Amino acid sequence: MPLRVEGELRVPSDKSISHRAIIIGSLADGEVRVKNWLRSADTLATLNIYRALGTRIEELSPTELVVRGGGLFSFREPGDILNAENSGTTTRLTLGVLSAQPFFAVLTGDHSLRRRPMLRVVKPLREMGATIDGREEGNLLPIAVRGGRLKGISFFNKKASAQVKSALLLAGLHAEGITEVEEPYLSRDHTERMLQLFEVDLTVIPAFGGVLVKLKGGQQPKGDKDIFVPADPSSAAFFAAAAVLLPGSKLLLKDVLINPTRDGFFRKLKEMGANIEYTNVRELSMEPIADIYVEYSPNLRGVRVFPEEVPAMIDELPLLAVVATQAEGETRIEGAAELRVKESDRIKAVVENLRKMGAKVEELPDGMVIEGKTPLRGGVEIKTYDDHRIAMAFTIAGLIADKPVKLDNPQCVSVSYPQFFEDLKRVLKEG
Ligand code: S3P
């Protein structure tokens, strides 16, 4: 029976902004009301950590929080190890906050997070004055921090990592003097936007094709604010891909964040020839949002993804590879070596699973080349590596295959999208 997606859907809220609403909300000096918060395994890890550090967080409903922080230096020494579970954002941003606190804290995480590199953030934080140690000389969790008085530094963020930039800006808020972070390409800028919403004075200047973000230490973020969190483009992407790939589909994705540092996947789909349109464009809590209308798009063409385009679609690249199997000609993704140190090695996971389904894919050290159009073969077991984005990308691949696929761990979607399968069922139609 042919499948299509149809109707309207508001996917869960943005994960990056939901983490930051708690973290920056905890640093503010008054009440912060968070509306449409994402409640998922990753963001709950953040909530539990900030409660353990002394922030009072009231849950008015599953998606509505009141965060009562007491200002920059109001945290207390946690009585136990802090567990960030599967969340790199929680870990790296919190390392920035802990570096400035006059106490001892230890952070750990699950089997995947304990393999992910932390020296990228530990090194500059040490340079600012924090005492940090951990396995592999501070590269791997568990990591212990003894924070203290920090001084601002100038840092070149070579990998354009938003987590590193955010950690340094949050540490820099507490530091003496100026903290500067320069990046070759602009990475997601939610920390900068939210700090500005909290009346922190921060400068963003174009620099050598990239950008320089600069802030003066000692500024207290002002509370008594509302934050509305928009729908997550990284979650909406799975449904946009389903609509593009399944004949007869017409889907409206509501309230989606279209920040230019995040909407690269949708722009790339358009470049591939997809029928996709932003409507009702507006702004919410300093972030641009839109309703995204997507239709079945039978004439997709292969494209190139250049290194400078990677940050704005980094989490959607596994899904883009799935879509590329249905595009005419070659799709080449380069400059994406960071995919190897995400929740799993996403280059390896995508290449292995796509090949299992009969796609033609070449593995590159920093990306992949996909040759389309190839019909996908179902009836196989997908190895998710317990990675939510691999699980969801290959669920979409399964919809266009001749037979369904089986995921070895479907539950891992709870990291960012606990009700993914229910939402998919709701918009999926037969016949
Ligand atoms: C994130 C930044 C990105 C992204 C991750 C979320 C954030 O990671 O892949 O899913 O919220 O700052 P990097 O900073 O490692 O690029």
Residue 220 maps to a domain: no
Averaged pLDDT, 158-175:
97
Instruction: State which ligand 1 atom lies nearest to the alpha carbon of 164.
Output: 14
Q: Which has the closest alpha carbon to 36: 9, 6, 61?
A: 61
Task: Kindly state whether residues 183 and 269 are assigned to the same domain.
Answer: no
Going from the Cα of 431 to the center of ligand 1, the distance in angstroms, rounded, reads 39
* pLDDT for the residue 190: 98
The tens digit of pLDDT for each residue in 324-357 reads 999 999 999 999 999 999 999 999 999 999 999 9
pLDDT band at residue 44 using 50, 70 and 90 as cut-offs: very high
Name every residue whose Cβ is closer than 8 Å to that of residue 210 and which is 6 or more positions away in sequence: 160, 182, 183, 184, 185, 186
Instruction: State which ligand 1 atom lies nearest to the alpha carbon of 93.
Output: 12
The tens digit of pLDDT for each residue in 204-253 reads 999 877 899 999 999 999 999 999 999 999 999 999 999 999 999 999 99
Task: Kindly state whether residues 193 and 245 are assigned to the same domain.
Answer: no
Task: Kindly state whether residues 282 and 386 are assigned to the same domain.
Answer: yes
Task: Kindly state whether residues 101 and 178 are assigned to the same domain.
Answer: yes
Residue 171 maps to a domain: yes
Task: Kindly state whether residues 155 and 267 are assigned to the same domain.
Answer: no
Q: Which has the closest alpha carbon to 24: 210, 145, 179, 199?
A: 199
pLDDT of 67 strictly over 90 = yes
Residue 221 maps to a domain: no
Going from the Cα of 92 to the center of ligand 1, the distance in angstroms, rounded, reads 10
CATH of the domain at 202: 3.65.10.10
Number of domains in the chain: 2
Cα(402)–Cα(358) distance, integer angstroms:
11
Q: Is the Cβ–Cβ distance between 160 and 120 less than 8 Å?
A: no
Task: Kindly state whether residues 56 and 188 are assigned to the same domain.
Answer: yes
* pLDDT for the residue 211: 94
Averaged pLDDT, 400-427:
98
- Of 191, 215, 239, which residue is a domain's last? 215
- pTM equals 0.98
* pLDDT for the residue 161: 97
Residue 398 maps to a domain: yes
pLDDT of 103 strictly over 80 = yes
Q: Is the Cβ–Cβ distance between 239 and 427 less than 8 Å?
A: yes
Is 315 noted as a catalytic residue in this protein? yes
Chain-centre distance for alpha carbon 1: 35
Task: Kindly state whether residues 256 and 118 are assigned to the same domain.
Answer: no
The tens digit of pLDDT for each residue in 378-401 reads 999 999 999 999 999 999 999 999
Residue 109 maps to a domain: yes
Task: Kindly state whether residues 112 and 142 are assigned to the same domain.
Answer: yes
Choice among 110, 232, 291, 315 that is catalytic: 315
Task: Kindly state whether residues 180 and 64 are assigned to the same domain.
Answer: yes
Residue 296 maps to a domain: yes
Residue 373 maps to a domain: yes
User: Could you tell me if the CB of 315 is within 6 A of ligand 1?
Assistant: yes
Task: Kindly state whether residues 117 and 242 are assigned to the same domain.
Answer: no
Q: Determine the structural domain holding residue 395 and report its residue range.
A: 230-425
Task: Kindly state whether residues 270 and 206 are assigned to the same domain.
Answer: no
The tens digit of pLDDT for each residue in 256-302 reads 999 999 999 999 999 999 999 999 999 999 999 999 999 999 999 99
Residue 1 maps to a domain: no
- Of 215, 239, 273, which residue is a domain's last? 215
Task: Kindly state whether residues 238 and 146 are assigned to the same domain.
Answer: no
